[in-house]
Amino acid sequence: MNTFFSQSVWLVPCYPLLGMGLSALWMPSITRKTGPRPAGYVNMLLTLMALVHSCLAFIERWEQPALKPSLTWLQAADLTLSIDLDISSITIGALILIAGINLLAQLYAVAYLEMDWGWARFFATMSLFEAGMCALVLCNSLFFSYVVLEILTLGTYLLIGYWFNQSLVVTGARDAFLTKRVGDLFLLMGVVALLPLAGTWNFDGLAEWAATAELDPTLATLLCLALIAGPLGKCAQFPLHLWLDEAMESPVPATVVRNSLVVGTGAWVLIKLQPIFALSDFASTFMIAIGATTALGAAMVAIAQIDIKRSLSYSVSAYMGMVFMAVGSQQDQTTLVLLLTYGVAMAILVMAIGGVVLVNISQDLTQYGGLWSRRPITGICYLVGAASLVALPPFGGFWSLAQLTTNFWKTSPILAVILITVNALTSFSIMREFGLIFGGKPKQMTVRSPEGLWALVLPMVILAGFALHSPFILAKLNFLPDWHQLNLPLAAVLIISTMVGGGTAMYLYLNEKISKPIHIFSDPVREFFAKDLYTAELYKNTVIFAVALISKIIDWLDRYFVDGVINFLGLATLFGGQSLKYNNSGQSQSYALSIVAGILLFIAALSYPLLKHWQF
């Protein structure tokens, strides 16, 4: 068995890193004359190499045991930091997904950023992302997973801040960086606390340790909560979800990658840490509760949005909430399938939306209408993406959602109900977008709406083809659940919920007789969801307020108290000098007096011991 490609699979993250370095050559300040386009082409070439390499390695590793090479990175005293890799068919499969979607997103960006001069910066950051994600899935060490997650956080900041002359971009990038950073810092606490307990950061070693570990329950709970907090921020879960909404200020190709893949990185780490979460029941419950809250809340918020990109971003949060629920209930395999089908479906949706936004300028759903006859490919791709996202057999999303619902029904039916509700809400929101964009009559912004260039449409169509084949692919990979394992009535309910959600949306938004905008709820309720549960205000009035207040107090203390004490010493010395100089009165007689006084004092001091014994 030839293992050349799987043994050199660590090169896959290196290709995009090389691309990142090379694209700097086409910075406008370096290549001043010939434009930035080669940066994109070079990166696409290297991503293609990464994809081909991963595919060849996948063929080699298929149904083979995992390779686990290890390389010492740093050895200091009794701490050894080794870069452990996990080269199995699952990780290489993830590499294929990452490289594939990145390649398509980069091709998409070639069309989308046609009128942009910043290709070098854009493609360099995209490649940084790709390299980071590839490194993350290959990495078998919690410590290096954390390192990569931090690099991805920095990448998010740079990528959202791509058009930095727009003020909303700057605030969005700031929020994305800080929110994810907070989660990462909690994760770091967990990572650091884990080493003395487990003695290793290797995921296999951690699993071995967790199998027999006997921890104090409080310690285990706190540890697990810290480990959850990192992915919590990464996956845009409540209450660290606002950044994803504001991250929609970045260019659409970046959004494709972020919404489909990057938010999954947190889930990936969660799955890898699964054995540790088994130590604490509370942590699992917490994960499920967070996931369920986010799934329900974000699905409702998505319905109330009028910005098309933001509406999709809340669906992302909702799906990541379902992933949290799945991980919290120890369903790793199903979670992986869900991440795979979700990633493909969401990438299609975002690409379709990006094509519409690029041509019609507006992102406002209320400004759209009547694109179906003019943009059939985009419309069909959108429908394929929507079908793959929600539970609609035989498309991809159905299988994992059905499996999840079945499993939840056995343990806690309430979760199954939540899952079905979220599915219905997501179907409603996705079909609402469809109805508003493609249905109805053309409005001013959409009167002339040509289909995009080939590079804009091709990646979307390829992904749609992939999504349509996903049942076969899943079957080939033995990822499909058996029919007899599934709770068929429950699956039927799931399908009905999809139908009801999507059907209601279609009825409401494709029906000309119902006047738009539609008022389903009363104004305060709609406002509540449209403003994302007032999360921005919540942040502003709690954490930001407290931190700003404490900063101001500390600044004040530093300025006036700490500085003041030292300045007071200086001032006192100055004042002392200025006032004591008047002792030099210029009168020699006063000098004589002070000499005499000094001598008298000296004598008094000398004779003080004698005076004490004076006997009168």
Contact pick of 492, 557, 592, 603 for another protein (by CB under 8 A): 592
To another protein, the closest distance from the beta carbon of 599 in angstroms equals 10
Our CB check for another protein shows the closer of 488 and 601 to be: 601
To another protein, the closest distance from the beta carbon of 589 in angstroms equals 5
Our CB check for another protein shows the closer of 165 and 584 to be: 584
Q: Helix or strand or coil: residue 162?
A: helix
Contact pick of 196, 589, 612, 616 for another protein (by CB under 8 A): 589
Our CB check for another protein shows the closer of 414 and 601 to be: 601
Q: Which window, 247-255, 300-308, 368-376, 590-598, contacts another protein (CB under 8 A)?
A: 590-598
Q: Is 338 exposed, middle or buried (0-12, 13-18, 19+ CB in 10 A)?
A: buried
Q: Which window, 65-73, 148-156, 528-536, 581-589, contacts another protein (CB under 8 A)?
A: 581-589
To another protein, the closest distance from the beta carbon of 596 in angstroms equals 6
477: DSSP letter: T
Q: Which window, 17-25, 110-118, 222-230, 577-585, contacts another protein (CB under 8 A)?
A: 577-585
Residue identified by tokens 């990145």 is: 102
Q: Helix or strand or coil: residue 125?
A: helix
- Binders of another protein in range 475-534 (CB under 8 A): none
Question: What is the CB neighbour count within 10 angstroms for residue 512?
Answer: 9
Residue identified by tokens 């959108």 is: 382
To another protein, the closest distance from the beta carbon of 588 in angstroms equals 7
Q: Is 584 in the site for another protein (CB under 8 A)?
A: yes
- The region that residue 238 occupies, defined by phi over 0 for left and psi between -120 and 50 for alpha, beta otherwise, is beta
Among 284, 295, 279, which residue's Cα sits nearest to residue 327?
Answer: 284
- Binders of another protein in range 149-178 (CB under 8 A): none
10: DSSP letter: G
Cα distances (Å, whole numbers) of residue 346 to 64, 316, 461, 465: 31, 8, 13, 14
Contact pick of 72, 196, 582, 616 for another protein (by CB under 8 A): 582
Among 130, 112, 121, which residue's Cα sits nearest to residue 47?
Answer: 130
Our CB check for another protein shows the closer of 72 and 579 to be: 579
- Binders of another protein in range 211-270 (CB under 8 A): none
Q: Which window, 226-234, 361-369, 489-497, 579-587, contacts another protein (CB under 8 A)?
A: 579-587
Our CB check for another protein shows the closer of 567 and 590 to be: 590
Question: What is the CB neighbour count within 10 angstroms for residue 80?
Answer: 12
DSSP-based helix, strand, coil % in the chain, nearest 5: 75, 5, 20
To another protein, the closest distance from the beta carbon of 591 in angstroms equals 10
Our CB check for another protein shows the closer of 29 and 588 to be: 588
Q: Is 586 in the site for another protein (CB under 8 A)?
A: yes
- Contact of 317 with 244, CB cutoff 8 Å: yes
Residue identified by tokens 């889930």 is: 267
Distance CA 276, CA 285 (A): 14
Q: Which window, 58-66, 188-196, 407-415, 582-590, contacts another protein (CB under 8 A)?
A: 582-590
Cα distances (Å, whole numbers) of residue 345 to 69, 149, 460, 467: 33, 24, 10, 7
Contact pick of 80, 411, 585, 607 for another protein (by CB under 8 A): 585
Q: Is 72 in the site for another protein (CB under 8 A)?
A: no
Q: Applying CB under 8 A, what is the total number of residues that bind another protein? A: 12
Q: Is 587 in the site for another protein (CB under 8 A)?
A: yes
Q: Which window, 42-50, 294-302, 383-391, 592-600, contacts another protein (CB under 8 A)?
A: 592-600
- Contact of 360 with 372, CB cutoff 8 Å: no
Among 102, 190, 197, 89, which residue's Cα sits nearest to residue 146?
Answer: 190
Q: Which helix (H) or strand (E) holds 83?
A: strand 79-84
Side chain identity at residue 61, one-letter code: R
Q: Is 581 in the site for another protein (CB under 8 A)?
A: yes
Our CB check for another protein shows the closer of 572 and 592 to be: 592
To another protein, the closest distance from the beta carbon of 583 in angstroms equals 8
Cα distances (Å, whole numbers) of residue 450 to 90, 253, 374, 385, 510: 40, 19, 7, 21, 22
To another protein, the closest distance from the beta carbon of 597 in angstroms equals 10
Q: Which window, 69-77, 238-246, 482-490, 584-592, contacts another protein (CB under 8 A)?
A: 584-592
Q: Which window, 54-62, 175-183, 293-301, 576-584, contacts another protein (CB under 8 A)?
A: 576-584
Distance CA 9, CA 13 (A): 8
To another protein, the closest distance from the beta carbon of 541 in angstroms equals 60
To another protein, the closest distance from the beta carbon of 571 in angstroms equals 20
Q: Is 614 in the site for another protein (CB under 8 A)?
A: no
To another protein, the closest distance from the beta carbon of 582 in angstroms equals 6
Helix axes of 281-303 and 308-328: crossing angle, nearest 10 degrees: 160
- The region that residue 602 occupies, defined by phi over 0 for left and psi between -120 and 50 for alpha, beta otherwise, is alpha
Our CB check for another protein shows the closer of 515 and 587 to be: 587
Contact pick of 549, 596, 603, 604 for another protein (by CB under 8 A): 596
Our CB check for another protein shows the closer of 522 and 584 to be: 584
Q: Which window, 7-15, 40-48, 259-267, 591-599, contacts another protein (CB under 8 A)?
A: 591-599
To another protein, the closest distance from the beta carbon of 593 in angstroms equals 5
Please, what is the Cα angle at 201 between 199 and 204, to 5 degrees? Answer: 100
Residue identified by tokens 């008047």 is: 582
Q: Is 606 in the site for another protein (CB under 8 A)?
A: no
Show the DSSP H helices in 439-584 as ranges: 454-476, 488-510, 523-530, 535-541, 543-556, 563-580
Distance CA 174, CA 305 (A): 22
Contact residues toward another protein (CB under 8 A) are 581-582, 584-590, 592-593, 596
